[in-house]
């Protein structure tokens, strides 16, 4: 992998305040990219990033105006975006019959609508600038039915399908999309659940490194999906009794 190919690239990360998104942002900046990190934990006053910097800017991924304005700032500052890594997401894990409509809507709003909005705005810029990469984080729950994953699994199935459609619509414009299918990964979200043995989970650093490898690929290479799993495969949640 030639990380020098990332120097000066304009990168967007949604959900970049913690976990996988934060680590990817740090690694991209270390490789010389200008990293725009949009997150509800970001700052409303942060200035645009220079090469090798991360700007953590407030953005609610479910708010269309905020997403449009966020990408509008990037267009004014750089005139382009080279890559988007959609990491923003939440999980609510419970039986279907115990899932409220409010919980269902919230998971799909962040995990699906957020990916749609960021991808749409990125697509517009990439379409007129010879392409780019859109990398969407999904889950093994998005390709394998797992109990107590009703809302989360459905959202990740949607992300997987949507990413494939981006590839079809974007292929003539040099736009390449990748689904990152993840097994149990140790993040703040999974630590809070206490569902898995941390020693059996994938370290965030390994996931981020794989994402960087995809981001650094030239656009004549299309990587529709990558799957990253812990050695034991699909882990059984301690919360399922």
Question: What digits encode the pLDDT tens for the residues 200-228?
Answer: 889 999 999 999 999 999 999 999 999 99
Residue 104's Cβ-count burial label (10 Å; 0-12, 13-18, 19+) is middle
Count of beta carbons in the 10 Å neighbourhood of residue 40? 15
**Cβ(34)–Cβ(78) under 8 Å?**
yes
pLDDT at residue number 46: 81
Which residue segments constitute the domains of the chain, with CATH numbers given? 3-228 (3.40.50.720)
Q: Please give the distance of CA 17 from its chain centroid, rounded to a whole number.
A: 12
pLDDT at residue number 39: 96
To the query of whether residue 152 is one of the catalytic residues in this protein, the response is yes
Contacts of 196 (CB under 8 A, 6+ apart): 184, 190, 235, 237, 238
pLDDT at residue number 224: 98
pLDDT at residue number 188: 72
For 226-237, write each residue's pLDDT tens digit.
Answer: 999 999 998 877
For residue 109, pLDDT over 80 is answered with yes
Q: Which of 70, 93, 123, 152 is catalytic?
A: 152
For 152-205, write each residue's pLDDT tens digit.
Answer: 999 999 999 999 999 999 999 999 999 999 999 987 766 666 677 888 889 999
Residue 58 and residue 70: Cα distance in Å, rounded?
Answer: 9
Residue 100 structure tokens: 């409220």
The mean pLDDT value of the chain amounts to 93
Instruction: Give the strands of the sheet with 10-14, arranged side by side.
Output: 53-58, 34-39, 10-14, 83-86, 132-137, 175-182, 225-228
The pTM for the full model equals 0.93
> Which residue(s) pair with 101 in the sheet?
none
Angle subtended at Cα 14 by Cα 17 and Cα 90, rounded to the nearest 5 degrees: 75
Residue 29 structure tokens: 């900046």
pLDDT at residue number 196: 79
Count of beta carbons in the 10 Å neighbourhood of residue 108? 17
Ranking 29-43, 102-116, 225-239 by mean pLDDT, the lowest is: 225-239
């Amino acid at each position: 992998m030639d990380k020098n190919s990332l120097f000066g690239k304009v990168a967007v990360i949604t959900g970049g305040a913690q976990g996988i998104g934060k680590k990817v942002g740090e690694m991209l900046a270390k490789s010389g990219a200008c990293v725009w990190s949009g997150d509800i934990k970001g700052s409303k006053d942060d200035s645009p990033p220079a090469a090798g910097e991360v700007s953590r800017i407030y953005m609610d991924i479910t708010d269309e105006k905020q997403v449009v304005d966020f990408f509008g700032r990037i267009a004014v500052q750089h005139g382009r975006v080279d890559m988007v890594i959609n990491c923003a997401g939440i999980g609510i894990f419970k039986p279907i019959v115990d899932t409220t409509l409010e919980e269902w809507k919230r998971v799909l709003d962040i995990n699906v609508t957020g990916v749609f909005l960021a991808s749409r705005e990125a697509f517009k810029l990439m379409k007129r600038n010879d392409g780019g990469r859109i990398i969407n984080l999904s889950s093994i729950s998005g390709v394998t039915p797992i109990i107590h994953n009703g809302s989360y699994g459905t959202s990740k199935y949607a992300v997987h399908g949507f990413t494939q459609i981006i590839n079809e619509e974007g292929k003539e414009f040099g736009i390449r999309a990748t689904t990152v299918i993840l097994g149990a990964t140790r993040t703040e979200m999974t630590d809070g659940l206490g569902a898995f043995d941390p020693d059996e989970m994938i370290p965030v650093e390994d996931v981020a490194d794989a994402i960087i490898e995809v981001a650094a690929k030239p656009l004549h290479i299309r990587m529709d999906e990558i799957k990253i799993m812990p050695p034991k495969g699909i882990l059984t949640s301690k919360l399922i009794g």
